[in-house]
Structure 1
Amino acid sequence: MAQQADIVDWRYFEETRAQLGPGFVKILGYFREDGIKSLEKIEAAMHAHDTVALIIPAHTLKGESRQFGAEPLAEVAERIEVAARSCVEEGRFPDELIPDVVNLKELFHVTLEAFDEAVSPLMKRQRPQGFGNADVHNSSFGRASRG
C-alpha cells in the first residue's frame, strides 16, 4: 500500500476545497458516509458471490475519490469495477479481487485519516464561538449582579 503522503493529490483536494467553499467539510462528510456504504456493499457482494453488485459501489467510490484527489483509492475501485464488468460478460465470479477488496478497505481508512488531518484546523475554525457554544463558560451572562 502507498504511504500516507502518496494517498492524496493535494492539488485536486485543494481545488475541490476552493470550489465547494464553506460546504466543503459537509461534502467531505458525505464522501465518508458514501464510501463506508460502498465498502459495505462491495464486501457483501464478495461474500454473496454477486458479481453484478460489485459494479455500482466500486464505480461510485472511484468517482468520489477522484473528486477529492484520492487517486490510489480510485485506482483500486476502478480495478474492481472493470474486473467485475468483465466477469459479468464472462459469466464468472472474480475471486481474484479479494486482495483488491482488502486493499480498498485499508486504503479508504488511510485516505480518511489523511483527509481528517488536512481539515482538522478547518473544522476547528468553523466551530461556533461564543453564544450557544458549550465550551464557553460565562457564568455571569444574563444574571443580575448583587453587590
Structure 2
Amino acid sequence: MAPLEIELIDWTVCTETRSALGPNFVRILGYFREDGADSIEKIENAMRAKNPIAMVDAAHKLKGEALQFGAMRLSATTEIIETTARACVEHHETPDDVIELVVALRSMFEETLAILEEDVSPVVQQRHPQGFGRRFG
C-alpha cells in the first residue's frame, strides 16, 4: 500500500498514548507541533540541497513522534523518506525519488495535527460530554 493511501490516524494507538500520558498529552502534542515543523523544514531544506545525509535524522525523528500519536500516514511517509535517504547516502545519490513525498509532507502534518488538536479541544469535549451530567435519549 502506498503511504498516501494509509489511514491518517490510528485512533487505537492515539487513545492508548492519550491514556498513558494523561494530562500531559496536550503538552506533548504541543512539542510534536514544534518538533514536527522543525523536522519538516529540515527535510525540505535537505531536499532542496539534494543532501540525503541531512534528511535522515529529521525523517527518523518525525517518524517516531508521528508513530507515538498514531499518525500512521505521516509515519509511513517519513519512513520511506528516511530509508530512501539512507540508501542515497550509501550509494552517493541524491534523494530525487522522494520529492513527491517531501512535497506532500507539510500538508499531511498540518492535517494530522488539526485533527489531533480538535480531538483534545475543550470545546469538542463539551459537545461530547461523558460521565456525570451526560444526557441520554
Normalised by the shorter chain, which TM-score bucket?
A: 0.7 to 0.9
Partner Cα distance (1:2, 1:88) in 2 = 27
2:98 — aligned with what? Answer: 97
2:119 — aligned with what? Answer: 118
1:20 — aligned with what? Answer: 21
| Partner deviation per Cα, 1:95-117 (whole Å, 9 max, x = no partner) | 11110101111211110111111
Partner Cα distance (1:23, 1:115) in 2 = 14
Aligned length: 123
Q: 1:16 to 1:111 in 2, by over 3 A?
A: same
Specify the SS of the correspondent of 1:92.
coil
1:36 — aligned with what? Answer: 37
Specify the SS of the correspondent of 1:93.
coil
- For 1:99, the aligned partner's letter is E
2:130 — aligned with what? Answer: none
Larger Rg: 1
RMSD: 1.8
- For 1:110, the aligned partner's letter is E
Alignment of 1:65-144 (within 5 A): 65-121=66-122
Q: Tell me if 1:11 matches 2:9.
A: no
Partner Cα distance (1:107, 1:53) in 2 = 21
More helix by share: 2
- For 1:71, the aligned partner's letter is M
Query: What's the TM-score, normalizing by structure 1?
Result: 0.78
Partner Cα distance (2:124, 2:90) in 1 = 46
TM-superposed deviation, 1:49: 1.4
TM-superposed deviation, 1:121: 2.1
| Partner deviation per Cα, 1:94-144 (whole Å, 9 max, x = no partner) | 11111010111121111011111111127988xxxxxxxxxxxxxxxxxxx
| Partner deviation per Cα, 1:40-71 (whole Å, 9 max, x = no partner) | 00011111111100000000000000000001
1:61 — aligned with what? Answer: 62
- For 1:36, the aligned partner's letter is A
Contact 2:9–2:71, Cα closer than 8 Å, also in 1:
yes
Specify the SS of the correspondent of 2:93.
coil
Question: Which ranges in structure 1 are unaligned for 5 or more consecutive residues?
Answer: 126-147
